Structure 1
């Protein structure tokens, strides 16, 4: 079952580990006899653009080379568009105002986002791009980490399980941050439109009233099954799924910088799960990000090979990346700018070894740059989640560097 498998989410699976062959004592690789040669190939990958691969006398040259290589591998560089904005809805909340906005990501594609603006601002304020999770929940995006009126029960249950019942974007706004919460590609306002799919893919949806919990659950099931088709189509087009996601996140920075409420020198990013994965890449690839928090997605790619890729989404794969940069190497491309990593000891999506190896690599990079205190990694005795104690620690980290 992959990350995002909506029939039984990874959060539910974390509570029933006996379902996994690993827990039952079966120590064979999920790719069986194919594993040894793939492991050997991965182990021979040099990560040649890692800051630790060799001496780099010119840090800025290393940074530029690493970013250029990643953007090449991501294989998605649509023509830039000027920042745009359509305000769809304005809701006044206690202590802040929530706008629902739409802006262009490319000339062919737009997204919706919530923009949370604290009351009483007297000048440009620090800002955070809050990035939603995957969780097998495609019907919503931004709503998974933002308080909304009349939220359906299935959404409230997700927020309780993944976030301890607290929508952290609103908490950031209450504490003085301008917060942008965009829908990622394939989620929320950018989700699949069932009306434009062949009926063979949507028959189950037609059994339920649109917008009901049953309909949303059926939509999530359909979208989960469709990931493979979408991934194949993306690759066949010459692009990559991460490339599309990350370009959208950089477009969100463009939009945020167009807002007069925002101090462009104090922008951070934070997210859980695929949101953490996107946060790691946004921090690493965009020099406009001053501080980052990665929750529930920091590991080494080699550590996933044996038996951990079954549970992951199609949204994370970049061909040939390991020859140049592992995940912690990408996150380090903005070092020594501050980075906090939040890991969970009971997270079945990763191995403790992989999380530890990534932590140690990042710590060594920051140490080598003379800024060890700019990196923090904390572990929580939880399954894959970003609950209130971890949120509070993340906000304290953002406060330390952005206020």
Structure 2
């Protein structure tokens, strides 16, 4: 049994191609990491590394006026929830929930709350925001990933302005089956029953199956899916800065899973973010190659590994405060990869003489952001934004 288990552990998702690809990846990687001995001037390194990452993300459309509007307003307990809409690019709009705490007397700290993936495309921002008449499939989802609590609302009750934007391919930016070729949607249409929960599940399955086609087209167009997501999330900062209620010097970001990846890149790429929280998305490329490249197509950026590992991206805004929350029972990440990412970030913050501004916590739970994790995140935001 031991021999069989050991042999199985040496197998890979890509079989006999693993040694070839692992060897290639190991030849030259993370050349722009701050740990590279040639990088002595922090700001020069930051400019070079951010510039290279922006080049690799390959998406930088011309800015357009936000032309923002408030679609609806709902008074909640201790805050007001606005559904807002604004332009992300000349061809793209998104919707977001904007939560404004009651009784603000001066500009307040703000948090951009970035939703997860979870194979649930029909909704985006609704996964961590209170909404009325939630379908059962959404309630179950929130229970499983967030212990039933919509953490954005809890942040608003604690005095934070919160913005939760939909990412491309989710919620208000989800794929429209009516604009997809009929031969690719006929099976999906056959599954529709008129029952909202059943139809949401059918849509999620359809959108999941379409990810490969979307990503092939994204690459063929000369850009990257993650580049589109990062650009959309950076426009969320523009929107916050258009609001007089927001203190521009106190903006943070937080997210779970894909939201954690989004938080990594938003924190790393945009200096307007003063602190970041990454939940259940911390690893290194090295520890993904054998068996853990099973994530969404949205996360892969061609050739990035040559210059910056995933923790290196988070370090681009160091020594600003960064909190990483890892789940010990997470099936999406190799535990060794979580530890390798932690050690790399700790070494970078050490090199910057700012070790107190980086923390990595572990929780003995599956892939999720439990209430205990949320409370630790809230305490971090209180410390660094209030």
TM bucket normalised to smaller = over 0.9
User: After the TM superposition, which segments of 4 or more aligned residues of structure 1 sit over 6 Å from their partners?
Assistant: 21-24
Flag the 1:218–1:362 CA change in 2: closer, same or farther, 3 A. Answer: same
Look up the match of 1:300: 284
Look up the match of 2:220: 236
Flag the 1:214–1:205 CA change in 2: closer, same or farther, 3 A. Answer: farther
Look up the match of 1:70: 53
Give a deviation string over 1:299-327, Cα, whole Å, max 9, x none.
00110110111x31100111111111001
Look up the match of 1:371: 354
Find the residue that maps to 2:343 and give its secondary structure: helix
In structure 2, runs of 5+ residues without a counterpart are none
User: Any conservation in 2 of the 1:205–1:215 contact (CA below 8 Å)?
Assistant: no
- CA deviation after TM superposition for structure 1 residue 55, in Å: 4.1
Look up the match of 2:260: 276
State the alpha-carbon separation in 2 of the partners of residues 22 and 192 from structure 1.
42
CA RMSD of aligned residues (A): 1.5
User: Any conservation in 1 of the 2:287–2:334 contact (CA below 8 Å)?
Assistant: yes
State the alpha-carbon separation in 1 of the partners of residues 282 and 382 from structure 2.
22
**1:286 and 2:261 aligned:** no
Look up the match of 2:314: 331
- CA deviation after TM superposition for structure 1 residue 202, in Å: 2.6
User: Any conservation in 1 of the 2:96–2:166 contact (CA below 8 Å)?
Assistant: yes
Q: Which of 206, 222, 228 in structure 2 is aligned with 1:222?
A: 206
Look up the match of 2:119: 136
**1:116 and 2:87 aligned:** no
State the alpha-carbon separation in 1 of the partners of residues 352 and 52 from structure 2.
22
User: Any conservation in 2 of the 1:272–1:386 contact (CA below 8 Å)?
Assistant: yes
Q: Which of 82, 87, 90 in structure 2 is aligned with 1:107?
A: 90
Flag the 1:214–1:23 CA change in 2: closer, same or farther, 3 A. Answer: farther
In the superposition, the TM-score normalised over structure 1's length comes to: 0.93
Superposed, which structure 2 residues align to 1:4-403 within 5 Å? Answer: 25=8, 27-203=10-186, 204-210=188-194, 212-309=196-293, 311-403=294-386
Give the number of equivalent residue pairs. 382
Look up the match of 1:16: none
In the superposition, the TM-score normalised over structure 2's length comes to: 0.97
State the alpha-carbon separation in 1 of the partners of residues 103 and 193 from structure 2.
42
Flag the 1:24–1:105 CA change in 2: closer, same or farther, 3 A. Answer: farther
In structure 1, runs of 5+ residues without a counterpart are 1-20
Find the residue that maps to 1:303 and give its secondary structure: coil
